[in-house]
Structure 1
């Protein structure tokens, strides 16, 4: 026996359960203007490429996996800071560029939100300092000369 489905149903998954009479979890993909979501039993998870703006004004545009920033993307902070690069499990992880609110930049590898490895820091005068970064420290940075 079929049930009548409302065209004004607000929850797509509830509508599928109600209209089909299914009692087991179903999986569907819902396309929104801000990206692709997958839904299992009413739990929406971002996946693929999309944009998210938080209530605090943080804007992420990039790849998602299992509702986490994962892959390539750009994260804009309300302070003016911007990270563009690779993410893993909602963290800066891989190669990226972090631009601080004052315009200085770090270009290089990140490991779980920390500067990690050989990178370059460009200061407010445009001078480029290169060397090894270890979290918040960077012992032995050298000024890169333009020849």
Structure 2
């Protein structure tokens, strides 16, 4: 694959739009690589790093619902450290594994209380209230 990146703006057949860096493979295929922004026709926007034509590296994914994820991506999935802000104002700050909460993290509830512990999927047994003194 050629390592020369170029800036481009591309509108996909479904109406999605990509603006950012890309490269051309040895067989002539243009792929997203580097930094760029993709906006879907449904209003989902990703701004961040791309590699191998997928979201890979640091970035921010915003949904029309108000949900925002900022953190690390691997193969189009939340993977590594990140912050997931829910539309209702609650927030998870911690580790993700293939789009799932996984490992140590903090959850901030609607009252602003911070709960810490180990998360696994949708479960977090033994959460402790973080007290700021």
TM-score by length of 2: 0.85
Larger Rg: 1
Are residue 73 (structure 1) and residue 59 (structure 2) matched? yes
Are residue 49 (structure 1) and residue 23 (structure 2) matched? no
Q: CA deviation at 1:39?
A: 2.6
Higher strand share: 2
Q: CA deviation at 1:119?
A: 0.4
Aligned with 1:39 (options 12, 24, 35): 24
After superposition, the CA RMSD in angstroms is 1.9
The answer for unaligned runs of 5 or more in structure 2 is 10-18
Note the 1:1-147 alignment, pairs <5 A: 29-32=5-8, 34-40=19-25, 41-147=27-133
Q: CA deviation at 1:129?
A: 0.5
Structure 1 residue ranges (4+ consecutive) displaced by more than 6 angstroms after TM superposition: none
Higher helix share: 1
Q: CA deviation at 1:64?
A: 0.2
Q: What CA deviation, in whole Å up to 9, does each residue of 1:48-72 have, x standing for no partner?
A: 0111101211100000001100000
TM-score by length of 1: 0.78
- Distance, in Å, in 2 between the alignment partners of 1:95 and 1:28 is 29
Q: Which has the higher contact order (CA 8 A, sep 6+)?
A: 2
- Distance, in Å, in 2 between the alignment partners of 1:46 and 1:116 is 28
Q: How many residues align?
A: 123
